[in-house]
Chains A and B, each alone.
Chain A
Amino acid sequence: KQEVTQIPAALSVPEGENLVLNCSFTDSAIYNLQWFRQDPGKGLTSLLLIQSSQREQTSGRLNASLDKSSGRSTLYIAASQPGDSATYLCAGANSKLTFGKGITLSVRP
């Protein structure tokens, strides 16, 4: 059974800092790994999708990497802004999508 872990559960950083959010998974036979953003009371917005054959994807200030052999993915956020404050969830896809519990990020002005 796939298990996805995100540690820490919460993170607070000053504006402008570069930061890394970590995600680990137990079953390396994933089809892809997806990072989502969730604002309070809202649905999930897809940020980046990394296929199993890829090692990383980039979108603007975001870069996500995937290392299937070690069961790890990271989401790198460059030059963080207060608008980046949200909960970030990673999810690994096997026969279904399994989510981590998320990291709640607060970027202080």
Chain B
Amino acid sequence: DGGITQSPKYLFRKEGQNVTLSCEQNLNHDAMYWYRQDPGQGLRLIYYSQIVNDFQKGDIAEGYSVSREKKESFPLTVTSAQKNPTAFYLCASSHTGDYGYTFGSGTRLTVV
């Protein structure tokens, strides 16, 4: 079955570390997205990519980086510059244009 796979499900980061969250899709979608979810704040867009080797900042890109070397993969790196990284991270994908989004099951990142 087609879908989006996020890994790991839980991730713990020490102060000053960079960590990378994986997102893979086999839906043949062109566009991929990263969202951050915090209690009471809803989902906020971090980065998105509409085509391989191209990506754009969302509303809260500071302290994050991404790459899009393959159509199927859109990893997110949470850098040490992100001062409050504890959150639930969701990856999504869609066809470009007037189509709906499909979401992965999320990664919960905790700073220890």
Task: Point out residues on A near B: beta carbons under 8 Å.
Answer: 31-32, 34, 36, 41-46, 49, 51-52, 89, 91, 93, 96-97, 99-102
Contact B108 A41 (CB under 8 A): yes
Contact B103 A52 (CB under 8 A): no
Band of interface residues on B = 20 to 34
**Among B45, B98, B104, B108: residue with most chain A CB under 10 A:** B98
Contact A96 B45 (CB under 8 A): yes
| Interface residue? B48 (CB, 8 A) | yes
Contact B106 A42 (CB under 8 A): yes
Task: Point out residues on B near A: beta carbons under 8 Å.
Answer: 6, 33, 35, 40-43, 45, 48, 58, 88, 90, 92, 97-106, 108
Contact B100 A96 (CB under 8 A): no
- A34 touches which one: B6, B40, B42, B101 (CB < 8 A)? B101
